[in-house]
Chain A
Amino acid sequence: MNSRKELLQVRELETTFFTDDGAIPAVDHISFSLKEGEILGIVGESGCGKSVTSLSIMGLVPSPPGKITSGEILLDGKDLTKLSQKEMRKIRGQEIAMIFQEPMTSLNPLFTIGNQLTEAILIHHKSWSKKKASARAVEMMKLVGLPRAEELLKEYPHQLSGGMRQRVMIAMALVCDPKILIADEPTTALDVTIQAQILQLMKDLNVRLNTAVMLITHDLGVVAETCERVIVMYNGQIVEEGPVELIFKNPEHPYTKGLIHSVPDMRFKKQRLFSISGNVPKPGTVKQGCRFAARCEYAFDRCQQENPNLYQTAEQHKTRCFLKEGKEASLDDRTAIESK
């Protein structure tokens, strides 16, 4: 896995919203990379900055008020944050495509499926005829498992179910063979069976087309089923990163542990869902100490004073927690934790 090329490298990315309430650092110096052909999960509760991260990569942060305030996003060595609008448009759809949470509202209700699919093709293949584009659209619709593809071309989004619309969105995203697909909560709005189908489809397409997928979700269950590697975000920062297996077997950050706890276990239908107490603080409101300290059952004095770094705890495992500062953690702290 390590030998695979890094397609996309995000370095110290900071995205800030300049609002009336002041500057909100929704994404606060995050660094990660996406490797060729992999499925990378990005997980965290709502408001942790997952969507803003993906919109930053797409160059679609609502502006004003949002702006990438520092860092770089490297695609094949090109820094996307430095590109002009025109250059960025060539990246969108062609190199990096994106699908969104709400399949009900993500398609334009007033244009046919065919119109919207061929549009996505013709934007990047200006010399193609309409007929050729339609043929490609049909091919793609079949690939994502849509029945009656030819007829669907003439239909409008409201005539399709949520699951079908999300398939259309996926077809539309992949129609120009992008290297990267960013899927922002693609199954959150769908019911469970459809959700499983869409995730399976994304896995299949990932294998067949070798498209790297950045799968954003608030549900670690989705990550467990789909991803190879996962990044856990909290309050605009990465708090843990590693291979999915490792993270589930040996979660290091208290936040990750909490998230794993709150994944519903289908074996016990009646169990009450665990949820981490408290809420994600608004970005920028925790001025001092670890951002998770207020909700953390392991928090000790130091957590209130300083924000820990992201410590490399194993070859592929990183955690932002003083408990993992390795040998640097003082003996006192350790006993304090162990006595809990």
Chain B
Amino acid sequence: MLHYIGRRLLQLIPVLLGMTFIVFLIIRAIPGDPAQVILGQQATKEAVAALRASLGLDNPWYIQYFHYLGDLLTGDLGESMRTKVPVASELWPYLGATLELSLCAIILAVIIGVNAGIISAWFQNSWFDYAAMIIALIGVSMPIFWLGLMEQWIFGIQLDMLPTSGRDDARNPVNPITYLYIIDTIIQGRFDQLVVVIQHLILPAIALATIPMAIIARMTRSSMLEVMRSDYVRTARAKGQKMFWVVYKHALKNAIIPVLTVIGLQMGMLLGGAILTETIFSWPGIGRYIYDAIGFRDYPVIQSGILVVAFMFIMINLLVDILYSIIDPRIKYN
């Protein structure tokens, strides 16, 4: 197994290398000059040229690329052209915010989606099945920004129950350690803040979880329906096993395997594609960090930001593959 993981990590290198190259070229294809953006429209030509030289932008693109690669190999993600802060340290708070939100969203989506799918399959054609699948159908086709705005309007404004922006109370900010505020507040024993943090998480997490939840529910249902017809499920029933255990032990373990792929992909989407939700809920996440960097043509931030997200996406897929082999003894990675 360790052997397999090692090999997979090695295979990552060419993938990530290719990705850095493509991202590098694409962002340089965006019209606009970072030096010009930083200095403003009134800046003199000389000032812009001087800044370009100091940023290394006067070199040919391939020299720039090799500099960037060289830095990456030493673990240096570069520094922001705009703030002069190393990307690695600047990025972490944003990454923490995104990780926390997307983990909460995916956990919510998995718990509710998987169970809804199981119960729908178990009681196929019942009212629960119909209701769940109609809701799931609405869920997959729901525009997230609209859902987010409705949540804010109902729970934030009309009912005044939950905060609608940010991660914590600005007057009583969380003292960050890992930037996963749930963990930070727990380590510090600040349970008052923990409550506030969770309240902030609820609405964006629901908005973000909706589509994955609907997809997972539908996938789980169809996978369960197939497995429930299998011979070993009949064997389990013939032993006198309770239906609950037949479903949750024998059927689910088999049915969850194809669902895991979907969960992994959805998790990846949440990491990279949460910009809309992050914007609506003023969530200081990595999507917005990269988005803002694009506005400033802040090349190192864009490059390294996308690289980090891609790296996590790939790691999640690796994790899913490892989970497969833990669940299914027939899979041998050799």
Beta-carbon nearest neighbor of A182 in chain B: B238
Among A106, A124, A156, the residue within 8 A (CB) of B240 is A124
The contact string, 1 if C-beta is below 8 Å from chain A, for chain B 234-278, is: 111111111100000010011000000000000000000000000
Among A91, A93, A94, A100, the residue within 8 A (CB) of B231 is A100
Beta-carbon nearest neighbor of B329 in chain A: A156
Q: Is B188 on the interface with A (CB-CB < 8 A)?
A: no
Which residues of the other chain, B, contact A177 by a CB distance below 8 angstroms? none
How far, in whole Å, are A94 and B238 apart by their CA atoms in the complex? 10
How far, in whole Å, are A287 and B215 apart by their CA atoms in the complex? 47
Among B232, B240, B329, the residue within 8 A (CB) of A123 is B240
Which residues of the other chain, B, contact A132 by a CB distance below 8 angstroms? none
Chain B's nearest CB lies how many Å from the CB of A186?
13
Q: Is B178 on the interface with A (CB-CB < 8 A)?
A: no
Which residues of the other chain, A, contact B230 by a CB distance below 8 angstroms? 105
Q: A108-B250, A109-B254 are in contact. Are A158 and B329 (CB under 8 A)?
A: yes
Range, interface on chain A = 20 to 34
Chain A's nearest CB lies how many Å from the CB of B324?
11
How far, in whole Å, are A66 and B155 apart by their CA atoms in the complex? 48
Which residues of the other chain, B, contact A169 by a CB distance below 8 angstroms? 235
Which residues of the other chain, A, contact B125 by a CB distance below 8 angstroms? 64
The contact string, 1 if C-beta is below 8 Å from chain B, for chain A 104-119, is: 0111111100000001
Q: Is B169 on the interface with A (CB-CB < 8 A)?
A: no
A107 near B235 with CB under 8 A, answer: yes
B contact residues, total (Cβ < 8 Å) = 21
Classify the secondary structure of B's interface with A.
helix
The contact string, 1 if C-beta is below 8 Å from chain A, for chain B 300-334, is: 00000000000000000000000000011110000
A93 near B254 with CB under 8 A, answer: no
Which residues of the other chain, B, contact A90 by a CB distance below 8 angstroms? 240
Q: Is A60 on the interface with B (CB-CB < 8 A)?
A: yes
A109 near B232 with CB under 8 A, answer: yes
Chain B's nearest CB lies how many Å from the CB of A180?
12
Which one of A92, A98, A106, A173 has the greatest number of beta carbons of chain B within 10 Å? A106
Beta-carbon nearest neighbor of B227 in chain A: A108
Chain B's nearest CB lies how many Å from the CB of A172?
7
Which residues of the other chain, B, contact A323 by a CB distance below 8 angstroms? none
A92 near B232 with CB under 8 A, answer: no
B234 near A100 with CB under 8 A, answer: yes
How far, in whole Å, are A124 and B330 apart by their CA atoms in the complex? 30
Beta-carbon nearest neighbor of B327 in chain A: A110
Among B234, B327, B329, B330, the residue within 8 A (CB) of A60 is B234
Chain B's nearest CB lies how many Å from the CB of A137?
13
Q: Is A220 on the interface with B (CB-CB < 8 A)?
A: no
How far, in whole Å, are A280 and B313 apart by their CA atoms in the complex? 56
Chain B's nearest CB lies how many Å from the CB of A15?
16
How far, in whole Å, are A64 and B253 apart by their CA atoms in the complex? 24
Within B204-236, which residues are at the interface with A (CB < 8 Å)?
230-232, 234-236
How far, in whole Å, are A124 and B327 apart by their CA atoms in the complex? 27
B234 near A158 with CB under 8 A, answer: no
Which residues of the other chain, A, contact B242 by a CB distance below 8 angstroms? 89
Chain A's nearest CB lies how many Å from the CB of B121?
14
Which residues of the other chain, A, contact B236 by a CB distance below 8 angstroms? 108, 119
Chain A's nearest CB lies how many Å from the CB of B124?
9
Beta-carbon nearest neighbor of A120 in chain B: B239
Beta-carbon nearest neighbor of A62 in chain B: B229
A119 near B232 with CB under 8 A, answer: no
Q: Is A293 on the interface with B (CB-CB < 8 A)?
A: no
Beta-carbon nearest neighbor of A59 in chain B: B237
Chain A's nearest CB lies how many Å from the CB of B228?
10
Q: Is A45 on the interface with B (CB-CB < 8 A)?
A: no
The contact string, 1 if C-beta is below 8 Å from chain A, for chain B 274-311, is: 00000000000000000000000000000000000000
B240 near A158 with CB under 8 A, answer: no
The contact string, 1 if C-beta is below 8 Å from chain B, for chain A 156-174, is: 1010000000000100110
Which residues of the other chain, A, contact B330 by a CB distance below 8 angstroms? 109, 156, 158
Among A58, A94, A106, the residue within 8 A (CB) of B232 is A106
Chain B's nearest CB lies how many Å from the CB of A283?
20
B238 near A92 with CB under 8 A, answer: yes
Which residues of the other chain, A, contact B235 by a CB distance below 8 angstroms? 100, 106-108, 169, 172
How far, in whole Å, are A169 and B235 apart by their CA atoms in the complex? 9
Which residues of the other chain, A, contact B250 by a CB distance below 8 angstroms? 108, 111
Q: A110-B253, A110-B254, A110-B329 are in contact. Are A105 and B241 (CB under 8 A)?
A: no
How far, in whole Å, are A92 and B241 apart by their CA atoms in the complex? 8
Q: Is A102 on the interface with B (CB-CB < 8 A)?
A: yes
Among A60, A97, A108, the residue within 8 A (CB) of B254 is A108
A89 near B240 with CB under 8 A, answer: yes
Which residues of the other chain, B, contact A58 by a CB distance below 8 angstroms? 238
Q: A100-B234, A105-B230, A105-B231 are in contact. Are A110 and B328 (CB under 8 A)?
A: yes
How far, in whole Å, are A92 and B236 apart by their CA atoms in the complex? 10
Within A37-70, which residues are at the interface with B (CB < 8 Å)?
58, 60, 64
Chain B's nearest CB lies how many Å from the CB of A161?
15
How far, in whole Å, are A291 and B119 apart by their CA atoms in the complex? 42
Beta-carbon nearest neighbor of A178 in chain B: B240
15 A-B pairs with CB atoms under 8 Å apart are: A60-B238, A92-B239, A97-B238, A106-B232, A106-B235, A108-B232, A108-B236, A108-B254, A109-B232, A109-B328, A111-B253, A119-B236, A119-B239, A156-B330, A169-B235
B residues sitting closer than 8 Å to A (CB atoms) are 125, 230-232, 234-243, 250, 253-254, 327-330
Q: Which 3 residue pairs are nearest across A and B when measured between Cβ atoms?
A: A93-B240, A92-B240, A108-B232
6 additional A-B residue pairs with CB within 8 Å, beyond A109-B232, A110-B253: A93-B238, A107-B232, A108-B235, A110-B254, A158-B329, A172-B239
A residues sitting closer than 8 Å to B (CB atoms) are 58, 60, 64, 85, 89-94, 97-98, 100, 102, 105-111, 119-120, 123-124, 156, 158, 169, 172-173
